[in-house]
Structure 1
Amino acid sequence: MRFHQLLSKATGLITRPAPTNSLTSAWRTQAARVPASVGSALRISAARRAFATSPLVERSLVQRPAPAWQGQAVVDGDIRALSLADYQGKYTVLVFYPANFTFVCPSELIAFSDRSAEFTALNTQVIGVSVDSEYSHLAWTQMPRNKGGLGDMKIPLLSDITKQISRDYGVLVEEAGVALRGLVIIDPAGHVRIHHVNDMPIGRSVDETLRLIEALQFHEQHGEVCPANWKKGAATIVPTPKGSQSYFSSNNK
């Protein structure tokens, strides 16, 4: 039995019900305090700091089945239907971002796209997601990178025009009508394993995303757990009182 399964059995995290209405309600309670404009949404506020202690935190999506989704996406320069079910048996990384034709967003999407081969080697598909239409996505990919566009993309760009996907994954700022920079890693069994959210001014790290996937896969394959700052090839921990002593004695002299 894997470490997260042992922990879940002890705490009941996976089996405890999480009503969708409560999740949405908790988010809307906090989002109601956020100014309507995207510009204002960039400002750090007391309401956002309060979010860290809101009931929503207790209902994290981590370890739970990923909310199903389907929609139109730009894939290899064409528009076609896409769904989470298409990636069953793979790791899936959802990269939520606020809006097309902006500033930090193209830097992130280009960075993930340019390293898509590394994700493919890890049986992983990265998908960019925003509330823009698929036609807006397509237009952005046809704009050159030196003008703020994306150019050719090696990852799909999913349209969340109804905002429901962003809402279901807890990253939508309701009053601003855009998503925060959420990064969600879903395992091949369809469970959320990582759920990180950045505020809008801060871009995400491709290196860190790859590290997290490698750590998840190492744990699944070997049953050992990955300590702070772990990288592929580094020491891991046997998650038992006796087994862990080898790591602690070697790394805490």
Structure 2
Amino acid sequence: MNTLITKKAPSFTSSAVLNGKNIVKNFTLEQFKGSKYVLLFFYPKDFTFVCPTEIYAFQEKIKEFESRNVQIIAISTDTEQSHWTWLQMPKEKGGIFGVTYPIVSDVNKTISHNYGVLSGDWICNHDEELKATGELIAYRGLFLIDKEGIIRHLLINDFPLGRNVNEAIRMIDALQYYEKKGEVCPANWTKGKRAIKASHSGIIDYFSSE
């Protein structure tokens, strides 16, 4: 499997729900190129159990993402009508009311496929009938895309494993620090800690702090 790291993020145009209430038909990834970082995350299904915990966790940190000039975008293979209905339901009834970032519909499965997160597969049987093997929904994929539209970090979890939003923020901080300072970030680096400056010979010259 070829990795998407350092590759151009696959473009898409699809229906989405904005601000928890407005359905648009031509939501694009390209609109953010040159102006914002994008944190794009896939989740398996609307009206499930782990998914709303992640969706709310990203919403709770929305100000931190905005302060870093990051646009959050969520995607699943549900329809935009399903997204909209779920967004109108209160949290105590299993809904995701109050979520404001875009939630994109990938009902044709093409976005999930292009990002390498679609579970299951298609096969053609002896009667030339197209069949699905497994459920064609998205794994928990997360992609950090820089302002030039290049994927700089990705993470793909199996269905039962929820993601850590603080780790996503840490990776954004690391990327932006590297872009600003040209220094690389060691294991467990967090904003404000020392980074590494290496010489051309590969030997560490010194540590510095932000």
- TM-score by structure 2 length? 0.88
Asked if 1:87 is matched to 2:47, the reply is: no
Asked if 1:110 is matched to 2:56, the reply is: yes
Distance of 1:211 and 1:114 partners within structure 2: 16
Q: Aligned residue for 2:129?
A: none
User: Cα deviation per residue 1:167-189 (whole Å; 9 max; x = unaligned)?
Assistant: 00000002211000000111000
Q: Which amino acid aligns with 2:172?
A: I
Q: Which amino acid aligns with 2:12?
A: W
Distance of 1:186 and 1:111 partners within structure 2: 20
SS in 2 for 1:173: coil
Q: CA deviation at 1:246?
A: 2.7
Q: CA deviation at 1:192?
A: 0.6
Q: CA deviation at 1:244?
A: 1.4
Which protein has the bigger helix share?
1
User: Cα deviation per residue 1:66-123 (whole Å; 9 max; x = unaligned)?
Assistant: 1111101000111013101111121101110000000100000011012111101101
Asked if 1:133 is matched to 2:75, the reply is: no
Distance of 1:196 and 1:75 partners within structure 2: 25
Asked if 1:119 is matched to 2:65, the reply is: yes
Q: Of the candidates 199, 206, 209, which is equivalent to residue 246 of structure 1?
A: 206
The answer to whether the Cα contact below 8 Å between 1:73 and 1:82 also exists between their aligned partners in 2 is: yes
Distance of 1:197 and 1:123 partners within structure 2: 23
SS in 2 for 1:232: coil
Q: Of the candidates 133, 152, 157, which is equivalent to residue 98 of structure 2?
A: 152
SS in 1 for 2:196: coil
Q: Aligned residue for 1:72?
A: 15
The answer to whether the Cα contact below 8 Å between 1:128 and 1:157 also exists between their aligned partners in 2 is: yes
Distance of 1:186 and 1:79 partners within structure 2: 24
SS in 1 for 2:198: coil
Asked if 1:215 is matched to 2:174, the reply is: yes
- How many residues matched? 190
Q: Aligned residue for 2:125?
A: none
Q: Aligned residue for 2:4?
A: 61
Gaps of 5+ in 2: 121-133
Distance of 2:137 and 2:116 partners within structure 1: 12
User: Cα deviation per residue 1:105-151 (whole Å; 9 max; x = unaligned)?
Assistant: 00000110121111011010011100000000000001110111101
With over 3 angstroms needed to count, the CA separation of the structure-2 counterparts of 1:129 and 1:221, relative to structure 1, is: same
- Aligned-pair identity in percent equals 43
Which protein has the bigger strand share?
2
Q: Which amino acid aligns with 2:77?
A: V
Distance of 1:69 and 1:90 partners within structure 2: 16
The answer to whether the Cα contact below 8 Å between 1:114 and 1:154 also exists between their aligned partners in 2 is: no
User: Cα deviation per residue 1:21-51 (whole Å; 9 max; x = unaligned)?
Assistant: xxxxxxxxxxxxxxxxxxxxxxxxxxxxxxx
Asked if 1:198 is matched to 2:157, the reply is: yes
Q: Of the candidates 17, 42, 49, which is equivalent to residue 96 of structure 1?
A: 42
SS in 2 for 1:172: coil
- TM-score by structure 1 length? 0.73
SS in 1 for 2:17: strand
Distance of 2:8 and 2:160 partners within structure 1: 29
Gaps of 5+ in 1: 1-55, 248-253
Q: CA deviation at 1:243?
A: 6.1
Structure 1 vs Structure 2 CA RMSD: 1.1
Distance of 1:63 and 1:151 partners within structure 2: 35
